[in-house]
Amino acid sequence: MNKTIYKSRLRTKGQITVPQEIRTLLGAEEGDDLLFFTDEVGRVLVSRLPTIDPEQAWFWSNHWQRLELEAQDDLRAGRVVEYSSTAEALAGRDDLEAGNDAED
């Protein structure tokens, strides 16, 4: 691996300028969050945190991610029903609800 060294000066309040070459490597732009962490030998590593569109943030909540995992498990296990139209899917839903009411 080619080693290139970049220098930056630590400023007041711990501020640094991340060199342009590093920002390019990270794909980082103004306003992005950077994650600093250490590895098992004490080296400090930096990574750009992915930006989540605020309108899509609900999808990344623990609740929705758990539901996504359950859906993936259902798909892998073949616990799915395919419908050829919306009307057919709605009728299937009605049949399921009617069956659930009959069991209650």
Tell me the pLDDT tens digit for each residue of 31-40.
889 999 999 9
CB 81 within 8 A of CB 92: yes
Residues 36 and 72 both lie in one domain = no
Residues 93 and 65 both lie in one domain = yes
Tell me if 31 is assigned to some domain. yes
Alpha helices in the chain (DSSP H): 20-26, 62-77, 86-103
Structural domain total, the chain: 2
- DSSP for residue 78: T
Q: Residue 4: is its pLDDT beyond 80?
A: yes
CA–CA gap between residue 77 and residue 96 (Å, rounded)? 20
Residues 64 and 95 both lie in one domain = yes
Tell me if 61 is assigned to some domain. yes
Residues 40 and 62 both lie in one domain = no
Q: pTM for the full model?
A: 0.48
* End-to-end Cα spacing for the chain: 66
CB 12 within 8 A of CB 23: no
Residues 62 and 44 both lie in one domain = no
Q: Chain centroid to CA 61: how far?
A: 9
pLDDT tens by residue, 15-74: 999 999 999 999 999 988 999 999 999 999 999 988 788 888 888 899 999 999 999 999
- Look at residue 101 in the predicted model and tell me its pLDDT: 56
Q: Identity (one letter) of the amino acid at 32?
A: D
- Look at residue 86 in the predicted model and tell me its pLDDT: 95
Domain region containing 99:
54-103
Q: Residue 84: is its pLDDT beyond 60?
A: yes
